[in-house]
Amino acid sequence: MILDSSGQITIPAALRAKFNLREGDNVEVVEIDGALVIVQTDNASGRGCRLTYRTGGTIGRKGVEEMSTERS
């Protein structure tokens, strides 16, 4: 793949088919362990979902419920 002058790349057709990527799908490029990774997202995906993905899914519901802005 070649990065063009506007910072865009084209994902090869074989990979788009393999990962069921279609025109209009939302994707993000994130850094994980020093590597750039293309991640398919959806319109409802918020910052919390992306953070959970980046941490390998280690942030669980219980951990979030135990957190509070009231804690010192």
15, 8 contact by CB (below 8 A): no
Whole-model pTM: value is 0.52
- Tens of pLDDT along 11-58? 999 999 998 998 888 999 999 999 999 998 875 445 556 566 666 655
H helix runs in the chain, sequence order: 13-18, 47-54, 61-66
Where exactly are the structural domains of the chain? 26-66
Q: What is the pLDDT at residue 70?
A: 60
21, 27 contact by CB (below 8 A): yes
- Select from 4, 13, 45 the least CA-distant residue to 28: 45
